[in-house]
Amino acid sequence: MDPVQAITTIEKHDIIGLLLPDEPSIDAKAGAEVLLSALGHMGKTVGLLAPTSVIADPGYFEALARTKPLAREFIISVNTEDSPVRQLRYEQNERAIDIIVTPKSNPLSSGAVSFRDGALRCDLAIAIGFSPESPPEKQSNALPADFLKQTPFITVSPAQNSPVPQPGLTPDKKPRNTSISEQCFLLAKRIPGFTVASRHATTLLAGILEQTANLREALNADTLDITSQLFKAGAQYDDAWTIVNPLPSLSLIQLIGRAAARSKIDEDRGVLWSFLAAE
């Protein structure tokens, strides 16, 4: 994704829909989180295009937790074959809109009226976190047919870059993926007047940690530079680490403790056995 071209495209549209995989990575969620805030700063209407299991801890992804699906048009259909209509009008009051149908001859029954969803109100789609093996077209069952063919969309996915050996780091001949977090950071920082908040910097850092095995895999100069900028923006490494490496629940810790207390090992035969009660 070219950030300059992406911003130019975004500026031309008012209603923007985000599309994420059913189970997005932390990297994808972090990128979506900062994009939601940046697009809101630009005055855009933003919503989700399809339901997704996004929120494990809404404290880290507040904007994503609040985002609702984009609105659809709602169609009220009258069967005029059996009940020809003379006039259609509406009256609006403080709490409701009354749609008034005047039949020509035959009385109009409730069975002649049906309801259905109409077109999705979306000018531009942004697909985040999809891979070439599983593109958005294959995971968009909740969208109308041919939606992505008829609607312009931007794809934000890990992009391959050739690594540049850095002092103290092991070079890797294989290309590595530039994280979604890096790309979304570069886009957000180019939006006039928008500042990447410290909480966004922390989630973006978490996305980079996820994609680089906690900064242990081969890195390139751009990734290190962006990581440095995130720290300057207030990223908290401990919080980012927790997002990527969540602590086990108390119940799991208790279960591990009971299993350890009830385990025995026969070192001569190399046998370990344990048992847990039903509770």
Task: Express each pLDDT in 107-116 by its tens digit.
Answer: 888 888 899 8
Q: How confident is the model at residue 262 (pLDDT cuts 50, 70, 90)?
A: confident
Above 50 in pLDDT, residue 210?
Answer: yes
Q: How confident is the model at residue 175 (pLDDT cuts 50, 70, 90)?
A: very low
Higher pLDDT, 208 or 265: 208
Higher pLDDT, 91 or 82: 91
Q: State which amino acid sits at residue 256.
A: I
3-state secondary structure 93-151: CCCCEEEEEEECCCCCCHHHEEEEEEEECCCEEEEECCECCECHHHCCCCCCCCHHHHC
Name the residue among 80, 33, 76 with its Cα closest to residue 56.
Answer: 33
Asked which of 18-22, 61-65, 258-262 is least confident by mean pLDDT, the reply is 258-262
- The answer to whether 201 and 233 are in contact (CB under 8 A) is yes
Angular region, 67: left φ>0, alpha ψ -120 to 50, beta rest: beta
pLDDT score recorded for residue 92? 92
pLDDT score recorded for residue 166? 40
From residue 222, give the alpha-carbon distance in Å to each of 27, 162, 177, 225: 17, 11, 12, 5
Which DSSP letter does residue 83 get? Answer: S
Per DSSP bridges, beta strands 45-48 and 15-19 are parallel
Task: Express each pLDDT in 30-89 by its tens digit.
Answer: 999 999 999 999 999 999 987 766 555 557 888 888 888 888 889 999 888 888 888 989
For residues 17-31, average pLDDT: 91
- The answer to whether 121 and 70 are in contact (CB under 8 A) is yes
Q: How confident is the model at residue 255 (pLDDT cuts 50, 70, 90)?
A: confident
Mean of per-residue pLDDT scores for the chain: 83
Above 90 in pLDDT, residue 247?
Answer: no
Task: Express each pLDDT in 183-200 by its tens digit.
Answer: 999 999 999 999 999 999
Q: Residue 2, Cβ neighbours under 10 Å: how many?
A: 12
